[in-house]
A and B are shown apart, each in its own frame.
Chain A
Amino acid sequence: MFVLDYLWIIPALPLAGAAMLGLAGRHWPARRVNAVGVGSVALAFAAALELVREFSRLPAAQVPWLKTYFTWITAGSFRADFALQVDQLTIVMLLVVTGVGLLIHIYSTGYMAHEGGYPRFFACMNLFMFFMLLLVMAANFVLLFVGWEGVGLCSYLLIGFYFLRKSAADAGKKAFIVNRIGDFGFMLALLLIFRTFGSLDFAPVFSGAAGKPQATLTAIALLLLVGAIGKSAQLPLYVWLPDAMEGPTPVSALIHAATMVAAGVYMVARAHALYELAPAAMAAVAVVGAVTAFYSATIGLVQTDIKKVLAYSTISQLGYMFLGCGVGAFAAGIFHLMTHAFFKALLFLAAGSVIHAMGGEQDMRRMGGLRKRIPWTYWTMLMGTLAIAGAPGFSGFFSKDAILLAAADKSVVLYVIALLGAMLTSFYMFRLLFLTFHGEPRFDEHAVHVHESPKNMVIPLAVLAVLSVVGGWAAAPEFWGSSNRFEHFLAPALSSPSRAFLAINPGPSLTAAVNTFREMTQQILWEMAGIAIAAAAIGFLVAWWFYIRRPQTPERVAESFHAPYKLLLNKYYVDELYDFLLVRPTTWISTHILWQVVDDGAIDGSVNGIAHVARRFGDRLRHTQSGNTRSYAAWVLVGAALFTILLLWKVR
C-alpha cells in the first residue's frame, strides 16, 4: 500500500524535476536534462501504475481514498487542506496524464533537440505535469483551483516559449488573460459554494447538494461552467486556443489537446453531483458543447495551417465532451476525453513530425505527396485520422457514438448538430491528410530535405497509434457484443444518490420485459451507429472528391461561395470583434478618461487648485508676517483662543 499512503509522491516527482531543471538545468548537458525531465515523468507513470494495482485491492467502502497532508489556508470558519484523493475518475485521469505525458516527453527529446532553452522547456513541462496531477488528485475545490491556475501558468510559459517572436508572447498573454476571465467565474463559484455549504471539500459539498435550493445549485453550476469554458476553450472564450499553437508542437499535443484543455470536462464530471441537481445548468453545458462542436468544425474546414486545423478540431472535440456531460452521460464524456487524448496527441505529434520533416513549414498548401517519404508518420497519422473521424472499430468511433446516442436520447436538435459536426470532422481531417501526404509535392524539393523523424519521435507515434485503435475497446457498448467495462469501472465515481434509484435490480418478472426492450433498443442503437458511420463516410468521400479526384474543386467552391468562405477563413471575425468591443475601449477609457482626465485632471487638478488658492492666500498673509514678535504673540493667542472655543463648543 505504498503509493496509496504516499499519494503526494506522484505530483512531487515532476515537481522535483522542474525544480532541479529550473534551478540548475541551464548548465547541464542535454543527456542529464533528458534523464531528469523524462525520468521524473516516467517515475510518476510507474507510480500511477502501482497506484492502480493497489487501488484495485481497495474495498469499495474506502473509495474515494482520501489523504490529508497539511493545512494550507485557514481563517475564521474557512479551512483548506492540502488533501489528495483517489477514485475511479482520478485513476483514469492519472493514467491518461502520466501515460500520454510520458510519451510526449520522450517525443520532445527528439523534436526539441536543437532548440535553444532546452532545459527551460523541460522545466516548464515538468512543472505542468505537477500542476495537472494536482488538479486531478485534489480533494477540494481550492486545491483544484491551484492546479487549474498552475496549468494555466505553464501554458502561458510554454506558448511563449519562443519569446523572441512577438506573436508567441502575445499568444501566451492572451491565453492567460482569457483563462483568467473564466477563472473569475470559477472564483465566484468557490465563494458561493463556501457560502452555501460552509466548506470547499468535495465530500461535504457533493453529499450535501441534495438538500440545497435549486436556484443556488444552478448558479454554482453555471459559474463553474464559466471556468470550464475558459479552460476548455468553448464558446465564447475559445479564442486563445488557436493562438496557442505558437508554442512548440509537443506543448500543443500535451497541454492544448490531451490534458489541460480537458480539465474543464474533468471538473464538470467531478462536480456531476451539483450538475445533476441543476437541469438548467446541464442544458447549458450541452448547448455550449454542441454549438461549439459544430461552430469550430466549420472554421476547421478552410484553415491552411496544419496546426490550426488541429486546434479548431480540438475545440470541436472538447465540445463533444461537454455535450456528453451535458446530456448526463458523464462516463461517455470522460471516455471521449481519454480516446481524444490518444488520437489528438498522436495527430499533433505526427503533425510535428511533418513540420520537422519539412524544416519548419506549417502551411499545407506547400506540402503534398509526403506519404512515401515519411511512411511512419503517414501511417500513424492515418490511424489518428480514422480514429477521430469515427471509423468503425477505432477508439473515437466508440466514444463519439456513446455521446451521440446519449444526445439523441435527450434532444433531437442536439443530436443533429453533433452529427453534422461529425461529418465536418471527417471532412477536414481527411482534407488535412490528403493535402499533406497525397497528391503532388507543392514545395521546392531542392530546398526542403524531407526526412523521417528519429526513433525517439517515431516510437511515441507508434504507441499512440496503437492506443488510438484499441483504446476504445474497453468501452465498447453492450450491443457491440462487449460489456462496457469503462463505464462500469467509472460508475462508482460518477453515480450519485439522486441517480441511485436507476440502479435498482429489476425483479424476475421485469427481467423478461427488460430483455425484450433491450432487443428492440439494440436494433435502434445499431441503426444510429450506422447513421454516424454514414456521416463519417460522407465527410471522407467529399474530401476525397475535393482533394484527390478533382483537386480544382475547392477553388471553384470558394469562388462561388465567396462571402461565406471569407467569413470562415477569417474565423467569423470574432477576434476582431472582441478587439473592437472590449480591448480598444478599455485601453482608451483607461488612458484618456481615467488617467488623464480623472486622475491628472480632476483629482490632482483640484488639489493643485487648492494649493494655488492657498498660495494666493499665503501671499496676502505674508503681510501679517511683519517680523514683529508682539504681533506674532497676539496671533498665537487669538489662535489658541479660537481653538479652545472650538473644542469647548464641540465637546460640551
Chain B
Amino acid sequence: MQGPLLLTVIIFLPLAGALALLILRPEDRVWIRRLALTTALAELGLSLLLLRGFLPGVAAYQFEEYRSWIATPPIHYHLGVDGISLFLVLLTTFLTPLAVLASWQSITSRVREFFLMLLVLETGMIGVFLALDLFLFFVFWEVMLVPMYFLIGIWGHERRIYAALKFVLYTMAGSVLMLVGILWLYNLTGTFDLPVMQAMLQTSQVLLNTRTEMLLFGAFFLAFAIKVPLFPLHTWLPDAHVEAPTAGSVVLAGVLLKMGTYGMLRFCLPLFPEASHRLAPYIAVLAIIGIIYGALVAMVQPDLKKLVAYSSVSHLGFVVLGIFAFNATSIQGALYQMLSHGVSTGALFLAVGMLYDRRHTHLIREFGGLATPMPVFSALFLFVCLSSLGLPMLNGFVGEFLILLGTFQQHARWAVWAATGVILSAVYLLWAYQRVIYGDVTSENNRALPDATRRERVILFTAAAVILWMGIASPVFTRRMEASAQNVLKQMQRSTAYEARDSRGAAPRAIQPAIPSAGER
C-alpha cells in the first residue's frame, strides 16, 4: 500500500467519511456514530501503514506527491512526510477516534453535523502537516479553522460564542500576517514550493537582507506563537478550552497547538536562520516565563479545564525552548514533548470530560472524594496526571528531559529556570487530584456517581497504554525523528558552511530531495 497516493488518501479519507455522513438521515444517530468511528479507525490504520513504510534515518521527505494545481502563480499540490510530521499525523489519527468515542453520548444535538465537523477538521489538520507548498499549507491552515469554530460555537458551553470568536480572531490575526509573509516570499523567490524556496535561500540564490528576514520571520512566527500559544499570546486558550466540548478540547490541545511549534520547526528555523538566532534569546525568555507562569496560574484555577489549559501553556513553553536552543537533542526532545503532550493532555481532557458528563461542571470544588464511588477512574486519572507531571518511565519525562539536556548544553541558565517547571507541575496536578479524588465525598451529588463505563475504560486504557509505551520505548519514535531533527539544524547553516561541506564531497542533493521542475515561473 506504499502507493504514490497514500498521503492523499490519508488526507482526504476523513473528508470522504464526512461526506458519507450526509447520506445518512440525521436521526440515525447510531449509524452516524458508527460510521464516524469506522472512518476514524480506518484513518488510524492507514497512518500505521505510513509508519510501516517510513524509512528511519532518512532526512528527506518521503511518500512525496507532486502535481501541478494552478499554473500561474505556480502552485503545486506538493505533499511529503518526514520525521517531523510523521508522528504528528499519527497523533492526529490516534486522537480523533478517541475524540469520537468521547462524544458518543455527550453530543445529543445535531449529531451528524458534529461528527462531520470533527472529520473535516481531521482532514484540515493532516493537510497542514503534510503540505509542502506554502499556498497549500495556508489553505489547510485556514480550512481547519472553520470546523473548530463551529465545534466550539455550536456544541460548546455557556460562553461558547465569545470563546469561538476569540479563538478565530486571534488565529486570524496571525494568519493574515502569515499570508503577507507567504506572498512576500513568493515575490522574492518566485515559488510557493517549500523545499525549493528553502534551497534557494540556503544557497544564497536569493539573499534576504537582515531587516527583510526579521520582518518575514516575525510574520510567520507571530502566527505560530499565537497558535502555540506563547506567553503573552495565550489568553484565548483557557476560554476556548473551557467552552469547547470534550472532543474539541482534545483536538485543540492535542493537535492544534502543535501546529504552532510544527510551523516554527518547518518554516521559521529553516527559512530564516539568522532572524531565528537573533531573536532566540527573547523567545526563550518568553518560553521560560510561559513555563513558570503557566504552572503558577494553573495551580490556582478553580476550574479543571482551565487548569489543564494553563498547564498546556507551561508544557508548550518547554517545546518552544527546545526548538530555539538549536540543539539536535533539544529539538528531538521538543518533538517528543509535542507528541507526549498531545497524548497526556488529550487524556486529561478526556478524563475531565467524563467528569463533566456526570456532573455538568468543571469546578474542582464541586468534586472531592471521587475515589470512593469511582475507583477505576481514579486510578487511571492518576496515571494520566503522573504522565503529565513527567514521571520517568512515562511519556512526559522523555521529552522534558531531552529538552533540558539539550538546552543545558547551549544555555545552562535557560535550562535551570525551565527545570523549576518540574517542581511546579507536581504541585498543581497533585493538588488538583487530591481535591477531586481524595477525602470524603463532600457533595451528595457525587456519592452515587457510576465508575468508568466500558467505553470510557477503552478510552482511558488506550491512552494509558500509549503513555507507558512512549515512556519505555522512546527509541521507536526518536529513531525516526533523528535525521529530520538534525536536518533542521543543517538547513539553518547558510551558504558558507554549505560550500565547505560540499567541498568535502558530501552530495548537496542529499540534503534536498530532487524536486521536478523546480523554480518554474
A binds B: yes
B235 with A195: CB separation less than 8 A: no
Residue ID in chain B nearest A650 by CB atoms: B184
Q: Which of B299, B391, B426, B479 contacts A587 (CB 8 A)?
A: B299
Q: Per-residue CB proximity of A52-88 to B under 8 Å, as 1/0?
A: 0000000000000000000111111110000000000
Nearest Cβ in chain A — how far from B521, in angstroms? 16
A142 vs B405: C-alpha distance in the bound complex, in angstroms?
12
Contacts of B409 in A (CB 8 A): 194-195
A191 near B415 with CB under 8 A, answer yes
B225 to chain A, nearest CB (A): 14
Encoded as 1 (CB less than 8 Å from any B CB) or 0, chain A from 155 to 174 comes to: 01000100111100110010
Task: With both chains docked as a complex, state the minimum distance between the C-beta of A349 and any C-beta of chain B, in angstroms.
Answer: 27
Of A93-101, A178-186, A446-454, A484-492, the stretch lying at the interface with chain B is A178-186
Closest to B378 in A: A163
Q: A150-B392, A599-B235 given as contacts; is B423 within 8 A of A184 (CB)?
A: yes
A531: Cβ under 8 A from any B Cβ: no
Indicate whether B73 reaches chain A with its CB closer than 8 angstroms. Answer: no
- In the complex, which residues 292-335 of chain B have their Cβ closer than 8 Å to any Cβ of chain A? 293, 296-297, 299-301, 327-329, 332-333
Please name all residues of chain B whose beta carbon is closer than 8 Å to the beta carbon of A142 when the two chains form the complex.
392, 401
Alpha-carbon gap, A191 to B408, bound state (A): 7
Residue A575 CB within 8 A of the other chain: no
In the complex, how many angstroms separate the beta carbon of A199 from the nearest chain B beta carbon? 12
A-B contact count, CB below 8 Å? 145
State whether the Cβ of A542 lies closer than 8 Å to any Cβ in chain B. no
A503 within 8 A of B: no
B474 at the interface (CB under 8 A from A): yes
Give the CA-CA distance A598 to B416 in the complex, in Å: 24
Measured CB to CB, the closest approach of chain B to A412, in angstroms, equals 38
A594 and B297 in contact, given A177-B430, A192-B408 (Cβ under 8 angstroms): yes
B393 near A150 with CB under 8 A, answer yes
A177 in contact with B299 (CB, 8 Å):
no
Residues of B within 8 A of A599 (CB): 235, 297
Instruction: Return the contact of B398 from the options A73, A160, A187, A192 (Cβ within 8 A).
Output: A73
| A473→B494 CA distance, assembly (Å) | 70
B11 at the interface (CB under 8 A from A): no
A586 CB within 8 Å of chain B: yes
The size of the chain A interface, using a CB distance under 8 A, is 54
Contact with A along B232-255 (1 / 0, CB 8 A): 101100000000000000000000
CB of A590 within 8 A of CB of B296, answer yes
Contact, CB under 8 Å: A187 / B478? no
Docked pose: A183 CA to B479 CA in angstroms: 28
Question: Which residues in A have their C-beta under 8 angstroms from that of B212?
Answer: 650
B402 at the interface (CB under 8 A from A): yes
B-contacting residues, A431-467, CB 8 Å:
none
Task: Give the Cβ gap from A140 to chain B, nearest Cβ, in Å.
Answer: 12
Cβ contact within 8 Å between B427 and A177? yes
By DSSP majority rule, is chain B's interface helix, strand, loop, or mixed? Answer: helix
By a CB distance below 8 angstroms, the chain B residues around A75 are: 328-329, 332-333, 336, 402, 406, 478, 482, 485
Q: Is the beta-carbon distance between B402 and A78 smaller than 8 angstroms?
A: yes
Which chain A residues lie closer than 8 Å to B419 at the CB level?
Answer: 184, 187-188, 191
Q: Is A595 an interface residue (CB 8 A)?
A: yes
**Complexed CA–CA distance, A181 and B419 (Å):** 10
Knowing A146-B393, A647-B183, the reply to whether A595 touches B300 (Cβ < 8 A) is yes
B430-A173 in contact (CB<8A): yes
> What are the residues of chain B within 8 A of A586 when measuring CB–CB?
296, 299
Q: How far is the CA of A181 from the CA of B371 in the complex (A)?
A: 28
A180 to B402, CA, bound (A): 18
Among the listed B392, B416, B440, which residue makes an inter-chain contact with A188, where contact means beta carbons less than 8 Å apart? Answer: B416
Q: What's the Cα separation between A625 and B297 when bound, in Å?
A: 43
List, in ascending order, chain B residues with CB within 8 A of A595's CB: 297, 300-301
B188 touching A73, Cβ below 8 Å: no
Contacts of B369 in A (CB 8 A): 164
Q: Which positions 579-593 of chain A face chain B at CB distance < 8 Å?
A: 586-587, 589-591
Q: Is the CB of B329 within 8 A of A180?
A: no
CA distance A595 to B332 in the complex (A): 32
- Alpha-carbon distance A400/B214, docked complex (angstroms): 67
A557 on interface, CB distance cutoff 8 Å: no
B187 interface hit (Cβ, 8 Å): yes
* Complex Cα–Cα for A595 and B295 (A): 11
Residue pair A78, B430 in contact (C-beta under 8 Å): no
Q: Is the CB of A603 closer than 8 A to any CB of chain B?
A: yes
CA distance A77 to B333 in the complex (A): 13
Residue B53, interface by CB 8 Å: no
Interface of chain B residues 272 through 300 with chain A (CB within 8 A): 293, 296-297, 299-300
Which residues of B, 321-375, contact A by the 8 Å Cβ criterion?
327-329, 332-333, 336, 369, 371-372, 375
Asked if A401 lies at the interface with its beta carbon under 8 angstroms from chain B, I say: no
Apart from A73-B401, A177-B423, A183-B423, list 5 A-B contacts with CB within 8 A.
Answer: A75-B485, A76-B328, A177-B427, A184-B420, A191-B404
A-to-B contact residues, CB < 8 Å? 22, 26, 71-78, 142, 145-146, 149-150, 153, 156, 160, 163-166, 169-170, 173, 176-177, 180-181, 183-184, 187-188, 190-192, 194-195, 586-587, 589-591, 594-595, 598-599, 603-604, 607, 611, 647, 650-651
29 contacts between A and B (CB under 8 A): A75-B478, A76-B329, A142-B401, A150-B392, A150-B393, A164-B369, A166-B438, A169-B434, A169-B438, A169-B439, A173-B434, A176-B426, A177-B423, A177-B430, A187-B419, A188-B415, A188-B419, A191-B405, A192-B408, A195-B412, A587-B300, A594-B293, A594-B296, A595-B300, A598-B293, A599-B235, A603-B232, A603-B235, A604-B235
